[in-house]
Amino acid sequence: MAPDAAPRDLSAPAALARLGHRATGRPALLRDGPVSRSYRVDLAGAGPAVLRIDRRGPRPGPTLAAALGLDRGAEHRLLAALAPAGLGPAPIAVDPAAGLLLRAWVPGPTWAEGRPPTLAVAGRALARVHRWRAPAGLLPARDWRATLARYAALAGPAAEAAFADAAARLADLPPDPQGQEGVTCHHDPLPQNVARRGGVFLDWEYAALGNPLFDLAVLGLG
């Protein structure tokens, strides 16, 4: 199927077929978010996996994830580098044009389930992420103004005032002590995105080089 022939809304079985896989049993919806839907699927001959299907906007064109600057192909390559270090799930298949990503299932509960981790446990897990050095060119530097602009463009005129306020606050921040390069940051380490077993981080779609204090702040919000 040609990249521009992707249907507007793929079902989980159709998405798996496009990726060259099929499920045994019924896919289970894990998360239904504004940008994508995630399913647990049991792949024939390969066991459990997570399938993410990106939503498409109201007009023909890229997926909402792509409009927000998320690159599923780059995420797939990043997971391939992270998995051997025990920091992320192994990738299985990807179709960036269709907004599809298939990755290995990480067993066990997340930090959001049961008693929250101690500060020491959370700090050690995040420190492993921040110490990891990505291969050259694999991670971009986070451009927060461009990120804000993408979200504002999707939100439309109603977001103009909020974008202007956020952009002004961003401009008032002191220089980043990490400099222009920064370190590997997950940028979405909410408790539901970290598996208790091994402290494996899930959903690396927002990963980029940045300031590790941002990850600490996001974890605190969770």
pLDDT tens for the chain, 222 residues long, are 444 455 577 899 999 999 999 999 999 999 999 999 999 999 988 899 999 999 987 777 789 999 999 999 999 999 999 999 999 999 999 999 999 999 999 998 999 998 888 888 999 999 999 999 999 999 998 888 888 888 888 888 888 888 889 889 888 877 765 555 689 999 999 999 999 988 999 999 999 999 898 898 888 765
- The pLDDT of residue 2 is 42
- The pLDDT of residue 3 is 45
- The pLDDT of residue 179 is 52
Element (DSSP H or E) covering residue 64: helix 64-67
Q: Which residues pair with 157 in a beta bridge?
A: none
- The pLDDT of residue 125 is 94
pTM: 0.89
- The pLDDT of residue 181 is 65
User: How many other CB atoms are found less than 10 A from the CB of residue 25?
Assistant: 9
Task: Mark 79-104 as b/e (b = at least 16 C-beta within 10 Å).
Answer: bebbbeeebbbebbbbbbbbbbbbbb
- The pLDDT of residue 180 is 54
- The pLDDT of residue 7 is 59
Phi and psi of 217, rounded to 5°?
Answer: -65, -45
Instruction: Please tell me whether residue 51 adopts helix, strand or coil conformation.
Output: strand
